[in-house]
């Protein structure tokens, strides 16, 4: 598999706080990769930096062999979409309007956009049922589905998901992650997930990076890390 995203020696600060220390990782075409770690480890900072929302002090981020610009709209145009923590949908717009906003950067014509719109509604049938409903009135799970659908409307090569399970009921989490895996299977969609629920991350991912106080301290196949006693104890709560 060819390398899609290559992050090399990333250094990021928040004011005087050194948030990321020499972080390096790679995502290949068609992979689901997760980043796990405790609160404050720097997981969301890493995604925001890749997405162009946060500036790196040093290091490089390359996508399909070319350096990424440090601007979120330009990153979307290059083929990376972020579903941020907390969803951040436009609550005063309808479901349909939110999805249309997701395609704002595309220049490939109305027919292609219409095809992707229909594909999103097939993936998330509940959005079709609520297509004219104001997004602020949706349940938390429906809002998360809408946030993912909106990101997909940009037709990304790489989808970034920041804490997708946060605040959702277990049954909705299961449904959402099944849709994420379905998306990967049907579209060969590369997905990078930041997820505090390490059980989920290890279950759906091919590879996993462990981030601790701004540094990558472990990486490997999800199946190997799931069997590692130190990972089980620190991140899975298993003795």
Residue pLDDT, tens place only, 81-100: 999 987 789 999 999 999 99
Q: Which pLDDT tens digit goes with each residue over 161-193?
A: 999 998 889 999 999 999 999 999 988 999 999
pLDDT of 132 = 97
How high is the pLDDT of residue 235? 83
Structure confidence at residue 108 (pLDDT): 84
User: CB neighbours (10 Å) of residue 239?
Assistant: 6
Q: What is the pLDDT of residue 28?
A: 97
Give the per-residue pLDDT at 7: 97
HSE-up of 112 (CA within 13 Å, CB side)? 11
Q: Could you give the CA distance from residue 148 to residue 161 in angstroms, rounded to a whole number?
A: 8
Question: What is the mean pLDDT of each successive set of 10 residues along the chain, which is 239 residues long?
Answer: 94 92 97 93 94 94 92 87 88 95 85 93 95 95 94 95 92 92 93 92 95 95 93 77
Q: Which residues pair with 23 in a beta bridge?
A: 10
What pTM was computed for the model? 0.93
Residue written as token pair 């090399």:
8
Distances (CA, A) of 50 to 159, 198, 224: 11, 21, 26
The pLDDT of residue 238 is 63
Q: Nearest 5°: phi and psi at 217?
A: -105, -20
């Amino acid at each position: 598999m060819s390398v899609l995203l290559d992050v090399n020696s990333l250094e990021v600060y928040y004011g005087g706080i050194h948030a990321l220390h020499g972080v390096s990782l790679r995502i290949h075409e068609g992979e689901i990769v997760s980043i796990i770690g405790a609160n404050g480890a720097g997981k969301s900072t890493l995604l925001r930096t890749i997405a162009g929302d946060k500036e790196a002090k040093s290091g490089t981020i390359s996508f399909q062999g070319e350096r990424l610009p440090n601007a979120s709209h330009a990153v979307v145009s290059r083929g990376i979409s972020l579903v941020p923590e907390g969803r951040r949908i436009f609550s005063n717009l309808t479901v349909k309007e939110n999805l249309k906003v997701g395609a704002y950067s595309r220049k490939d014509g109305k027919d292609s956009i219409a095809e992707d719109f229909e594909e999103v509604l097939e993936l998330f049938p509940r959005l079709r049922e609520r297509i004219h409903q104001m997004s602020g009135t949706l349940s938390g799970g429906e809002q998360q589905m809408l946030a993912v659908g909106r990101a997909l409307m940009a037709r990304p090569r790489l989808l970034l998901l920041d804490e997708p399970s946060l605040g959702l009921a277990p049954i909705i989490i299961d449904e959402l992650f099944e849709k994420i895996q379905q998306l990967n299977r049907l579209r060969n969609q590369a997905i990078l997930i930041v997820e505090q629920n390490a059980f989920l991350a290890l279950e759906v991912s091919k590879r996993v990076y462990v981030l601790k106080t701004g540094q990558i301290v472990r990486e490997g196949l999800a199946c190997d890390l799931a069997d590692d006693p130190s990972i089980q104890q620190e991140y899975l709560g298993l003795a």
